[in-house]
Structure formats: structure tokens, C-alpha cells
Amino acid sequence: MEREILHVDVNNAFLSWLAVYKLECGEKLDIRTIPSIIGGDEKQRHGIVLAKSNLAKQFGIKTGEPLYSARKKCPTIKIYESNFKVYRKYSDMLYKLLLEYSYKVERFSIDECFVDMTEFLNGRRLIDVAYEISKRVKEELKFTVNIGVAHNKLLAKMASDFQKPDRVHTLYEKEIPRKMWTLPISELFMVGRRTLPKLYNMNVKTIEDLAKVDKNLLIKKFGKFGKTMWEYANGIDESEVVYTYQKPKCVGNSTTVSQDINDIEKIEEVLLALTEHTTYRLRKIKMLCNVVSVQLRTSEFKNYSHQRKLDFSTNSTKEIFNAAKQLVRQLYKGEPIRLIGIRVDNLCEEDEKQISIFENNDTKKQEKLDKVVDLIKDKYGYETITRAGDMKHTKNINRKD
């Protein structure tokens, strides 16, 4: 089975995250829209440019140059000190969002992650998941990312470095000659400044040049790194996404509908599709929930949410949907709705389930039915079987399993 890998890279992370933080704290000015940089303390006459806005870039300001040099190029430049507490906050928010798609998430650095989606697509295309993540990050976290889509980590990372910002790029094996080989050798991952002059002396100027050099010659000249360089130039990378698995504290799903809905029955149809996807994932990780929450967002971006504690722990689609439906009926005020969401919380392992007097034979039958439906989905694809009320919406719902 071919691997399905994403590389998610935050655009201009330090400056973007500080901008979002300031806006959330009530400031009116978005520092991304003015000449601005992140650096040290200018009063102490030390520090370098760590990040810059696009307008600062237009003044010729470069990452790594001294602050006094940047000030000379743009006397009105705004300089902000680094705030790693803020950076960690938004890095964690991105990481948690990605965990909604796969538990195989590797934090490669504070502002970039690899996501192994191989076992979690369930009939979806990887490119569609990438666009969904990009949209959610922009709408929910208020910054942008570049996402590389490929069959291994190397190609995914190379793809995410293509045109920026706020882009999704693929780099599959058949695209290597057109998209990667034409790049200068300095663009190849892991090729540093010390190696470049040696490659130039070998008349290696592009990634294609390196890909066509005899591998044994590279090994003789560079040792094991020569073999790695040759493999990377040819798009070969067998490294795994390194992750630490933790059971999630909640599972949820939401969708922005293509057209505003002001009919509660249609809202419930979308809610059923969302519940189906959420409970399917809940059962896959062998967990039960005790709390159900729903969210509605109006066309005017007003948010309504409500939650309910269940009478017993469950991962039954029917039980959870019934609870969610009641919550929606309590929340809905007749306004046009643009976003619908459901989340289940207070999770516990299946083997921790306690017997409840509220459970009955119908509940047990539903649990058996859910398991049969899941088996069919796993074997033949997620869309092969669905509930009647779910049929009109299931293909348009953004699954996160």
C-alpha cells in the first residue's frame, strides 16, 4: 500500500502567530499588513530579523540580518520581540487540529508537522483532506499554512516549499521531473552550504543533475550522506512519520454548508452525517463518550453551542444522534445556518463501560448494527453503506477519521 503523507508548514509562523495573538487581545492593527519584523530588543542594540511581513520584504529586509540594518532600509519598520509562549500556544492548536485527522502526527519543528493519513482516508482523496485542513486552519486558527501532498515525507516537505503562502501542492513520483528536478540543487532537503561548493565543482547545479550522478561516486566522495543525497534527488525516502500516540480527549466533526440552511429538518440531515462520521471514528479507537455537544454558526457568524451529559457511556450512532438532535432543537432560533458541528467528550475505554439501568435491548441491538455497518465500510469503503437520512449529505461532509 502506498503511503499517504502530508507536510503542514505554517506561513511566516512567528509573525503570523504574534499577529493573531494581538488581534485576539483586542488590538485593531494586524501587523501582517504593515512593514514589521520579529527580532530582539532594539534598545539593547542587538538582535536579528527572525521573521518579516510581506511589506517588510518589499524593502529588501532579509531574515538573519541585524535589526539596525533593517531599520536603515525602512525607518518606519515596526519591531516586535519574540514570544515563545505565544508560539507554543498556536503550535499546540495546530497539532491538536491535525490529530483530528490522524493520530500519526510528527512535530518536525515548532511550525511544521508531518501527518500519515495512510490508514485514515477511508475513501477520501489525500488532496481533498489537505484542502480541508488548509481551510480549517485559516477559518478556525486565523493563520495560513502550506501543505505538501505526497507518498513519502521527503516529497511532501519539498512540495510544501513550492509557491507560498496559503497553498496546497502535490509532488508524486511522476511529477518529480517536472516539479522537482528543475530546481537548483540548493533547494534539495538536507543539502547545506558546506556541501554546495563540492557539488558545484562536480558540475551539479540542479536536482536533476544530482539524480543522474552515479550513486557509487557520490558514496565515495560523501560517504553515507552521498547515498542519501542521491536517493532524495530521486524522490526516495522510506523514513516513517514518528509520533507519540495518545488517546484523544474528544472526537468531533463540523462542516460549513455550501448554502445557508434555515430549515431545521435539513440541519438535522447534516447533523446525522456528521454524527455518523464522528461515531465511526469513536468506535475505531474503541472508546465511548459521556457528553455530546453541538455547535451552530449563523450567516452573521454568531456561534451557539450546547452540551448534554448522557445517561450512559456509548458510541452508538443512534443514541448520540438523538441527543444531538435534541440539543439542536433547543439551540436553533430560525436564523440561516452556515456551520454545523458535533463533538463528543468525557471519553472512556470500551472495557471501562459500566452497566446502566437506562440501557435496554434496543441499545444493544444498535451497537451490534453499528459494528456490522463499520465492518462493511472498512472492507468496501466508507460510502458503500449509509443511513437513509444521511444519503444526501454524506459525500459533502468533511470526515476527520
Taking only the tens place, the pLDDT of each residue in 114-125 is 999 998 887 789
Q: What is the CATH number of the domain that holds 204?
A: 1.10.150.20
Average pLDDT over residues 150-170: 97
| CATH assignment of the domain containing 337 | 3.30.1490.100
228 and 257 fall within a common domain: no
Q: Do residues 274 and 229 both lie within one domain? A: no
Same domain? For 190 and 276 the reply is no
196 shares a domain with 256: no
**In CATH, what number is assigned to the domain containing residue 26?**
3.40.1170.60
Using DSSP bridges, classify how beta strands 36-39 and 51-52 pair: parallel, antiparallel or unpaired: antiparallel
The pLDDT-based confidence of 396 (bands split at 50, 70, 90) is: very low
Q: 269 and 315 share a domain?
A: yes
Residue 96 lies inside a defined structural domain of this protein: no
In the set 112, 276, 319, 359, the catalytic residue is: 112
Asked whether residue 204 carries a pLDDT value surpassing 70, the answer given is yes
Residue at 70 is within a domain: yes
Q: How far is the C-alpha of 138 from the C-alpha of 144, rounded, in Å? A: 5
- pLDDT reading at 397 higher than 70: no
Cα dihedral 63, 68, 70, 71, rounded to 10, equals 150
Do 261 and 381 lie in a common domain?
yes
Give the pLDDT band (50/70/90) at residue 142: very high
Burial call 313-331: b when 16+ CB within 10 Å, e when fewer: bbbbbbbbbebbbebbeee
pLDDT grade, residue 183 (50/70/90)? very high
Q: What integer is the mean pLDDT of 309-320? A: 92
What's the CA gap between 130 and 127, in Å, rounded? 5
At residue 264, the pLDDT reads 94
Q: Is 112 a catalytic residue?
A: yes
- pLDDT tens, position by position, 86-108: 999 999 999 989 988 888 999 99
For residue 113, give the nearest of 6, 198, 22, 13 by alpha carbon: 6
In a domain, 162, yes or no: no
**Any domain includes 296:** yes
Q: For residue range 30-67, list pLDDT tens digits in order.
A: 999 999 999 877 666 568 899 999 999 999 999 989 99
* Domain identity same for 272 and 336: yes
Dihedral, CA of residue 330, residue 257, residue 275 and residue 248, to nearest 10: -100
User: What is the distance of C-alpha 13 from the center of its chain?
Assistant: 14
**Per-residue pLDDT at 398:** 46
pLDDT by residue (tens digit) across 225-260? 999 999 999 999 999 999 987 777 888 888 888 899
The alpha carbon of residue 385 and the mean position of all alpha carbons in its chain are separated, in whole angstroms, by 27
302 in Cβ contact with 335 (< 8 Å): yes
pLDDT value, residue 54? 93
Looking at the structure, tell me whether residues 216 and 344 fall in a common domain. no
Same domain, 268 and 389: yes
- Is 158 within 8 Å of 189 (Cβ atoms)? yes
What is the C-alpha to C-alpha distance for residues 177 and 207, in angstroms, rounded to an integer?
Answer: 9
> Which residue do the cell numbers 550513486 mark?
215
Whether the pLDDT of residue 399 is over 50: the answer is no
In a domain, 209, yes or no: yes
Domain ranges, residue 60: 15-83
More confident residue, 360 or 320: 320
- Looking at every residue in the chain, the average pLDDT score rounds to 89
Q: What is the pLDDT of residue 123?
A: 76
Same structural domain, 217 and 297: no
Residue 57: exposure state from Cβ atoms within 10 A (0-12, 13-18, ≥19): middle
Indicate the number of domains in the chain.
3
Please report whether residue 148 resides in a domain: no
366: its cell numbers: 444498535
User: What type of residue is 376?
Assistant: I
pTM over 0.75: no
CA dist., res. 359 & res. 338, Å (int): 35
Distances from the Cα of 364 to the Cα of 52, 84, 268, 328, angstroms = 58, 50, 24, 25
Report, as an integer, the average pLDDT of 305-315: 93
CA-to-CA separations, 339 to 3, 22, 253, 260, in angstroms, rounded: 32, 26, 11, 8
- Please say whether the beta carbons of 24 and 173 come within 8 A: no
Q: Does residue 73 share a domain with residue 187?
A: no
Mean pLDDT is lowest, of 217-226, 299-308, 382-391, for 382-391
pLDDT of res. 355? 52
